[in-house]
Amino acid sequence: MWQEYLFATSVEHALELLGQYEGRAQLIAGGTDLVLQSQRGECPATVIVDITRIPGLNYIQEQDGHIVVGAQVTHAQIAASSLIREKAPILAMACAQVGGPQIRNAGTLVGNVINAQPAADGAVALFALDAELEVATPEGRRWEPIAHVYRGVGVCTINPCQEMVTAVRFRSLTGACGCNYQRLARRKALTLPTLVVAVVLEMAGDAIKWARIAIGPVAPTPYRAADAEAYLIGKKAEESVFAEAGRLAAAKARPRDSLIRGSGEYRTAMVGVLVRRALAAAAQECHGRR
Ligand SMILES: Cc1cc2nc3c(=O)[nH]c(=O)nc-3n(C[C@@H](O)[C@@H](O)[C@H](O)COP(=O)(O)OP(=O)(O)OC[C@H]3O[C@@H](n4cnc5c(N)ncnc54)[C@H](O)[C@@H]3O)c2cc1C
């Protein structure tokens, strides 16, 4: 259990505190995951370093064609952001589905990523946006693609006892882009999803120029349906094409049978259905934007 609770005053101070305690200290943001993990005895850190009072990390900005989201930004802020709703609506859709109002007001997008659950709504949307994370270490800062930091269920390569994510960035969606977020869950609120599919695509005339399809939690980490994405390039946006892409995406799913989330067979079938629906809705949105 925690013995000390410290407030960092800057990113450098947070890293300094982590270094000082050599693995016994861990960062906290909203605490929606970490407090429960601690209660379950899954957080070995005895010193907690709170980053919520560091100035300058609570922003959502557009810079050089990217949208950049600071580490203190909550799901509720993202869901309400007019910039995100206009230029990356899929992230607003995903964050609006997380937990309930209290969880969305406290929990951060960055914390959602670091906790590395394959069902993490915000993280799946970030896979579809091809997002990168800015990681601060005592040696300096680097940008890491989101797909590189997931290693398995609950396993992230960024170690919150040594490093700190300061921001997330992704390209603004411009032109004839459309997106859609499909979520299957046993209840409408306060539950992790059984299945989520996040789609972003761009049209060139009547053909699909490119598509990104991110899926969770039907494998140890969220993943992109690369075969389906490749198949879609240059195809007409029509029902038979969406159905084939759904079939290709489902072939990559490896869900386990789960008493809570349903059988593997059911979830695999639903991957195909949700991908087909998400592609159709995203293509429809492209037509609306042209
Ligand atoms: C009742 C309930 C319902 C929920 N429902 C959903 C849901 O529907 N969908 C969903 O996706 N999630 C859901 N969640 C989980 C969601 O709230 C969290 O994943 C949340 O986004 C984590 O953010 P946080 O700021 O609270 O992180 P914290 O709990 O503070 O931290 C989580 C992890 O991230 C690390 N960390 C935090 N910030 C940083 C940083 N800047 N740099 C490096 N490491 C950092 C911490 O050390 C810790 O390991 C739910 C949680 C609860 C309790």
**pLDDT per position as a tens digit, 249-270:** 999 899 888 887 789 999 999 9
Q: How far apart are CA 112 and CA 134, in angstroms?
A: 15
188 phi, psi to nearest 5 deg: -80, -25
pLDDT, position 191: 78
Q: Mean per-residue pLDDT for 164-169?
A: 98
pLDDT tens digits, residue range 198-222?
A: 999 999 998 999 999 999 999 999 9
Q: Mean per-residue pLDDT for 97-103?
A: 96
Q: Cα angle at 265 between 259 and 270, to 5 degrees?
A: 100
Band (pLDDT 50/70/90 cuts) for residue 187 is: confident
Which of 10, 57, 114 to probe ligand 1 with, by most ligand atoms within 8 A of CB?
114
Instruction: Out of 150-159, 265-274, 280-289, pick the least confident.
Output: 280-289
The residue among 84, 95, 11, 97 whose CA lies nearest residue 51 is 11
Answer yes or no: are the C-beta atoms of 91 and 66 closer than 8 Å. Answer: no
169 phi, psi to nearest 5 deg: -140, 155
pLDDT tens digits, residue range 133-156?
A: 999 999 999 999 999 999 999 999
**86 versus 189: which is more confidently predicted?**
86
Closest atom of ligand 1 relative to the 35 alpha carbon: 29
pLDDT tens digits, residue range 36-81?
A: 999 999 988 999 999 999 999 999 999 999 999 999 999 999 999 9
- Centre of ligand 1 to C-alpha 242, Å, is 33
Ligand 1 lined by 38 (C-beta under 6 Å): no
Band (pLDDT 50/70/90 cuts) for residue 290 is: low
79 phi, psi to nearest 5 deg: -60, -30
Mapped onto helix, strand or coil, the DSSP state of residue 232 is: helix
pLDDT, position 289: 63
**Residues near 14 by beta carbon (within 8 Å), at least 6 away in sequence:** 8, 27, 49, 51, 54, 164
- pLDDT above 80 for 190: no
**31 versus 285: which is more confidently predicted?**
31
Q: Mean per-residue pLDDT for 220-242?
A: 97
Ligand 1 lined by 26 (C-beta under 6 Å): yes
Which of 32, 38, 158 to probe ligand 1 with, by most ligand atoms within 8 A of CB?
32
Averaged confidence pLDDT in the chain: 95
The structure's pTM equals: 0.96
Helices 264-289 and 239-251, axial angle in degrees (round to 10) = 140
Residue closest via CA to ligand 1's atom 53 equals 32
Which of 115, 151, 261 to probe ligand 1 with, by most ligand atoms within 8 A of CB?
115
Q: Mean per-residue pLDDT for 156-172?
A: 97
Ligand 1 lined by 123 (C-beta under 6 Å): no
Quote the percentage of the chain above a pLDDT of 90: 87
Ligand 1 lined by 27 (C-beta under 6 Å): yes
Residue closest via CA to ligand 1's atom 9 equals 98
Ligand 1 lined by 33 (C-beta under 6 Å): yes
How many whole angstroms from its chain centre is CA 258?
A: 23
Tokens of 258: 């789960």
Q: How far apart are CA 66 and CA 135, in angstroms?
A: 17
- pLDDT above 80 for 288: no
pLDDT, position 224: 97
Ligand 1 lined by 73 (C-beta under 6 Å): no
Q: How far apart are CA 110 and CA 33, in angstroms?
A: 12
